[in-house]
Amino acid sequence: MRSTPHILVINGTKVRRPVFVLGAPHCGADLLARAVKRSAGFHLTTGRPGVLRVTYAFARRPAIATERGQGAARVLRDAYAEAWQVSARACAECSAECRELAGLPPRVPDGEASEPCVAAAGIARFADASPDLIYSADVLLDAFPDAQLVQVIRDGRDAVADMLGDERCLAWFKPGLANLDAVFPNPFLGVEDHTERRRWPSAAPAVKCALRWRGSVRLSARLRQQVPEEQLHTVRYEELVARPRRVAADLSEYLDTAISRTVLTGLVRAGAREARGVDEHGVGSWRERLSPRQLAQVEKVAGTELRRLGYRLTADV
C-alpha cells in the first residue's frame, strides 16, 4: 500500500508529480535528463550527496527500505527536500554532473558564489536523475505517491561497453565494495543464484557489468507490471537517438509539460558529433568496442533479456 500524500514545499512551490529518470548504468538516461533540465519550469537535480547516501543505502541493502517501511519514504523525502532547494548553500553542494546537465561551467572555487542552474521563481515541477535510482523505485513511489517515472532502456551490449570504460562503475566490483557476503541475492550486483555467487570472485569485468545490466532491466520489467501506466513511461534509447522529436512529443504528453523538441534534437546531434565516427551516441558501437570473448560473455549472461527487449544476438544473425 502506498503512503498517503505528503505536502512538500520547496522555495514556496508545492512538489506535485515529481519526475524521476531511471535506468541501468550507462543506459543513456543522462541525455533525456539534459532535455528535461533545460525545459522551462523544471528543476532537475542529479548526484546530490544527501540523495546518493540514501539511494545507495537502499540499493546495496534492500532490507533497509523493507524493514523501515514508511520510515524509508520519509528519509528519502527529506533528502529531496534538501536537494531541491535553490540557494547559495544548496548550489555550492551541486555536483559537477548536475551543472553539466544544465550546460553550466564547473562550480567556482570555494568562497565564491555559484550560479544557480534554475531561477526559483520559475519552478513548476521537480525532477531527479541521480544514478541507480532504479533500485529505489518502490521507495520513491512511497515517498511521492503521485510521482511520474521515466525509464530508459538500451542495448545491454552498448551499456556494458560504456561501463567497462567507467572507473566509477567498475569500482563497485572491488572486494572492499562488493557486499555479496552480507547481501544475497544481490539486486545491485545482479547476482541471483548460487552459481553466480560462487563464480563472482573470478568473473571477468564484462560478466560483472552484464549482471548489473541484467539485474536493472529485470527490475524495469517488474516496474512495468506493477506501476500504473500513467506513472511509468519507457523510452527506448535507440528510438531517442533516431527520432528525438517524436520522443520529446511523447514525453511531453506523458508529463503534461512541454519538453522542447528542438533542445532534445540538438543534444542528440551534439552527441553524435562527439562520437567521432562511431554510430550516433554509440548505438551499435559494441561491435567495435567489445572483444569476441567479451561479447560472448555478455550474450551468455544477458541473452534472454536482450531477446525479450527485441535486440538480436549474434547467433540470431
Instruction: Give the tens place of pLDDT for each residue, 96-108.
Output: 777 777 777 766 6
> Each residue of 29-63: pLDDT tens digit?
999 999 999 999 999 999 999 999 999 999 999 99
pLDDT in the model for residue 316: 82
Cβ atoms within 10 Å of 280's Cβ, excluding its own: 16
Q: Is residue 102 part of a domain?
A: yes
pLDDT in the model for residue 307: 97
pLDDT in the model for residue 280: 42
pLDDT > 80? residue 170:
yes
Residue 275: which pLDDT band, with cuts at 50, 70 and 90?
very low
Q: Is residue 315 part of a domain?
A: no
pLDDT in the model for residue 110: 59
Q: Is residue 316 part of a domain?
A: no
pLDDT > 50? residue 232:
yes
Q: Is residue 139 part of a domain?
A: yes
pLDDT in the model for residue 100: 77
What's the mean pLDDT in 3-30? 87
Q: How far is residue 317's CA from residue 312's CA, in Å, rounded to a whole number? A: 7
pLDDT > 50? residue 278:
no
Classified as helix, coil or strand, 219 is helix
Q: Is residue 1 part of a domain?
A: no
CA distances from 69 to 54, 56, 200, 203 (A): 14, 17, 31, 35
Number of domains in the chain: 1
Task: Collect contacts of 83-86 with beta carbons under 8 A, ≥24 apart.
Answer: 83/45, 83/48, 83/50, 83/51, 83/128, 84/10, 84/11, 84/15, 84/43, 84/45, 84/126, 85/10, 85/11, 86/10, 86/11, 86/43, 86/116, 86/118, 86/119, 86/120, 86/123
Average pLDDT of the chain to the nearest whole number: 89
Q: Is residue 4 part of a domain?
A: no
Q: Is residue 164 part of a domain?
A: yes
Q: Is residue 185 part of a domain?
A: yes
pLDDT in the model for residue 276: 45
Residues in the chain: 317
Q: What is the pTM of this model?
A: 0.91
What's the mean pLDDT in 189-214? 97
pLDDT > 80? residue 88:
no
Site of grid cell 530508459:
152
Residue 274: which pLDDT band, with cuts at 50, 70 and 90?
low
pLDDT in the model for residue 97: 77
Residue span of the structural domain in which 30 resides: 9-309
Domain of 257: which CATH number? 3.40.50.300
What's the mean pLDDT in 16-41? 94
| Residues 285, 161 contacting (CB under 8 angstroms) | yes
Q: Angle formed by the axes of helices 292-308 and 156-163, to 10°?
A: 140
Classified as helix, coil or strand, 199 is helix
Residue 271: which pLDDT band, with cuts at 50, 70 and 90?
low
Residue 70: which pLDDT band, with cuts at 50, 70 and 90?
confident
Cβ atoms within 10 Å of 309's Cβ, excluding its own: 16
Percent of all residues in the chain with a pLDDT value above 70, rounded to a whole number: 89
Task: Show the cell assigned to 75.
Answer: 528519509
